[in-house]
Amino acid sequence: MIRRQFFRYAIVGLASNLALYLAYLSLTYLGMGHKTAMTLLYALGTGLSFVFNRNWTFVHKGNITRAFFGYVTIYALGYITNFVALYVMVDTLEFDHQWVQGGMILVVAMLLFTLQKFVVFREE
């Protein structure tokens, strides 16, 4: 079951993150700051992915309110992780934001899958 869930999570994640990353590149190209663009798109992605991950990836039938608040909480943790990485690696160490954000998508995705599987959408 975990393989099927991970496969579905990967499909949802790849589709949404590709679209959101392209939007990130577009917004930053147009002059929006990298942390502002990430913040805006992170919020949008959180809402959309909750629907798909709850209903398709994990087929969760538990309490939707508890799941939503748990989801928002772990995504806040993911956001903070991403924001701090951008601050340290781009603003302080001066790495290219495109590469840092691309790598952080993978790091945060693995963190969020683990927390969704074992905390937010755990079998009750």
Domain count, the chain: 1
Structural tokens at position 114: 């683990």
SS3 96: coil
- Which pair of tokens denotes residue 10? 């990967």
Question: Residue range 94-111: average pLDDT?
Answer: 93
Q: CA of 122: how far to CAs of 17, 42, 116, in Å?
A: 24, 23, 7
What number of H helices and E strands is found in the chain? Answer: 4, 0
pLDDT, one tens digit per residue, over 35-91 is: 999 899 989 999 999 999 999 999 999 999 999 999 999 999 999 999 999 999 999
Neighbours of 31 (CB within 10 A): 7
- What angle do helix axes 64-86 and 97-115 make, rounded to 10 degrees? 150
Summarised one tens digit per residue, pLDDT across range 5-38 is: 999 999 998 999 899 999 999 999 999 999 999 8
> What is the domain extent for residue 35?
2-120
Q: Look at residue 17 in the predicted model and tell me its pLDDT.
A: 85
Q: pTM, whole model, 2 decimals? A: 0.80
